[in-house]
Structure 1
C-alpha cells in the first residue's frame, strides 16, 4: 500500500441533515412526495412507450468460479454483472459493488421492474468476498435477498450512514459493517476507499425518505484509480471529486433512468459524459442501463446517446457485455453490442 493513501486527510464538511434528522443534498433539489410518486407511477401504468424492453436476447458471458480464480492476482479486473452491479478482483481479493441478483428491482417478488437478462454468475458460485460496497438503499442498488445470501461469505460491508440498520436486520453482523459519511475514508490491504457525495435521495418505502445517506465511491489502488457514481443528478460535486482525487483510470457513471420528471437526481447521457470529464476520467463505463426498465426512454437510448456524445467530445468509452472481464491497463471493449438487438 502506498503511504500516500494513509497520509491523505479530509477536512471537507460532512453530509448535512435537516432538523428532522433527514439527509439533504448539497445543491437544492425538488423533494420527493407521495403525490409526485403517484404521478410517476400513473405514467408508468398509462403512458405508451417505445421499446422499453429488448425483444431479443441480450449477449452475455457466463462466469464460473474457476474462470474468476484464473484471473491474475497482480492487477485490477472488472466484470459488469448488470445494471450498476460490478464484481472486482483487486490484487486477488473479490469485491462487489451494489450487488443486485434478484429477478426484480422491487419490494415484491411478483411485480416491479424485471431483469432483461440473468446474472452471469450465481452468489453460490462466487468465491469468498472481501468487501461489498453500497452506494444507497434503493431496490436496484441494495438487494435484500442478495445481502442475506452474501452475509456469511463476505468479510466486510461498506455502507452509507443508516444503511447498517437494514443489513443487521437481514443477518449481517454489526462487526462486519463499516458506515460512512461523505468524505470519510478507510484503508484496505490493497486500496484506499472514500465515500463521496452525489445528488440523489434514499428510501425503501413511503415513510423512510432520506433517513439514510447516499453517495459514490472513490477507489485508489496501486494499479489505478476507479470512481463508482452510484446514482446522481449532475452537480458541481463531480468537479470537486475530480480535483481532489483525479485523474481516474476508469469511471463507472450512471447513464440511464433519466426523465424530465426527475432531472435533479438522475443525469442525461450528455450530463454523464460531462461528469466523467469533471472527474478527470480517462475511460468511462456507462452503468445503470441494460438490465431493468426504470424510466420512459427506450432500453437502448442511454447507450446510443452516451456513445454519440462520447465520440463528439473525445471521451474514451468502454461498453463490455455482461460477464465480460476487463483489466486496468489493458485494451477495453468498445463494441456496440446493443445495436444488433435493437434491430430484432
Structure 2
C-alpha cells in the first residue's frame, strides 16, 4: 500500500528568513557532489540487481526486549538503542524519542523498500508516556508516517528542522505541539536546551520536494549533561564549529552505516565518523544508523567492525549496546561485541 500522505506536495512553504534557504530550496554550505547520468544509472542498477548477500544478516540479531515497566524503573540519564537512528532517552525523568521508525519498511510502500532486519525491541503502543520526539530530517528511515500517527496524540513536543514541522501539521499533528528550528536556534523544555545544529545532508520524500525541508543535527544540553545527536551527515567543518561552540559533549551519537564512496559527502564513512567525534570534543562515541536496514553495499556488520577497530587505534571510548540495551550516558561501559 502506498501512503500518499507521506509523499505528497502538500505544505511546501518558503523560508526566506533562513540563511540556508536560497529562495527555492535549502542548501548545504558545501555543495554536494553530483553523479553523472551514467554513474547514477549504474548505481540504481547495482541497488536493484547487484547487492551482495551479506548486506543482510543470515539470522536474527541479539535483541533485548523492553517494556514500559522496565523503562519506568530505569535510571535517569539513560539511553536505549531501538535500532537504526531511533533512540529512547530518559532525561530529567522524561522520555524522548529520536527519529522514531517502528514500521517494517523505510519506504512509502508496505510491500517494497528496505525492510527491517527484525522488529524493534518494544512496540509503539507499549512505550511509556513520551515527552517529546526529536527529528533530524524527512527521509523515510528517519521520519515514518505510521509511527508519527501512532505517537501524535501521546507526545507533548515535536522538535524539527524548518519545514518538517509543517509536514507534520499536514499529517494532523497539533500545531501547538510543534517547534521547528533553523540551525543554531534552540528550545528550552524542562531544564534542557535543544539546539538545532548544522549537518551536511539533503531532504525529500518524493519527486517534487527535494531539499524543500531543512535537515539538522541536535545538541541536547542541561546542567548535568551535553549530548550530540548527529542525524545524517557527511563529514564537514561544521562538526568542529559545533564542538567549539557547544562542547565538550559527554556522548556523541554519530552516523556509522549505509555509507559508500559515491555518497561520502552526505553519509560519513567510519573514518569520517572518528574525525567528526574528535572535532566535537566528546568523551564517548555511540555509533548509530546501522544494524536495522539494508541501505548500502557493505556487509551489515562492516560498520561495527570498522568503528571498533578505528576507535581502538585512536584511543576513543566507544559504547556499542545491543538493540534494546540501555546505557547510562554519563557512566557508560565498553560492551562486548554482540554481532
TM-score of the superposed pair, with normalisation by structure 2: 0.92
Q: Give yes or no for contact 1:131–1:158 (8 Å, CA) kept in 2.
A: yes
In 1, are the aligned partners of 2:64 and 2:323 still within 8 Å (CA)? yes
Aligned equivalents of 2:213 and 2:110: distance in 1? Answer: 24
For 2:224, the equivalent position in structure 1 comes to 223
Distance 2:18 2:221 in 1: 20
CA distance in structure 1 between the partners assigned to 2:93 and 2:188 by the alignment:
16
**Any unmatched runs of 5+ in structure 2?**
1-16
Paired with 1:33 and 1:180, the residues of 2 have a C-alpha distance of 34
Q: Which residue of structure 2 aligns with residue 18 of structure 1? A: 22
Q: What's the TM-score, normalizing by structure 1?
A: 0.90
For 1:334 and 1:215, locate their aligned partners in 2 and report how far apart those are by CA, in whole Å: 29
CA apart distance, 1:328 = 2.5
Q: Which moves more between the two structures, 167-176 or 280-289?
A: 167-176
Alignment of 1:99-138 (within 5 A): 99-138=100-139
Residue range with higher mean Cα deviation, 324-333 or 52-61: 324-333
Aligned residues of 1:14 and 1:183 also touching (Cα < 8 A)? no
Distance verdict in 2 for CA 1:64–1:202, change over 3 Å: same
Q: CA deviation at 1:38?
A: 4.8
Alignment of 1:65-144 (within 5 A): 65-72=68-75, 75-144=76-145
Answer whether contact 1:195 1:217 (CA < 8 A) is retained: yes
Q: Is the 8 Å Cα contact of residues 233 and 255 (structure 2) preserved in structure 1?
A: yes
Counterpart CA distance in 2 for 1:275 and 1:334 is: 22
Alignment of 1:1-344 (within 5 A): 15-19=19-23, 21-31=24-34, 38-72=41-75, 75-338=76-339
Are the aligned partners of 1:217 and 1:228 in contact in 2 as well (CA < 8 Å)? Answer: yes
Q: Per-residue displacement from partner, 1:268-327 (whole Å, max 9, x unpaired)?
A: 001101100100010001100000000010000111111111100111111000111111
Offset, 1:335:
1.4
CA-based RMSD: 1.6
Aligned to 1:226, what secondary structure does the other structure show?
A: strand
1:10 matched residue in structure 2: none
Residue-by-residue CA offset, 1:161-188 (whole Å, 9 max, x unaligned): 1112221122201111001100001111
Residue 69 to residue 204, structure 1, CA distance change in 2 (3 Å): same
| Offset of residue 14 of structure 1 | 5.0
**Secondary structure class of the residue paired with 2:55:** coil
How much has 1:329 moved relative to structure 2? 2.6
Q: Distance in 2 between matches of 1:188 and 1:293?
A: 35
**Secondary structure of the residue that 1:302 maps to in structure 2?**
helix
Unmatched segments (≥5 aa) in structure 1: 1-12, 339-344
Q: Using the alignment, how far apart are the partners of 1:81 and 1:333 within structure 2?
A: 18
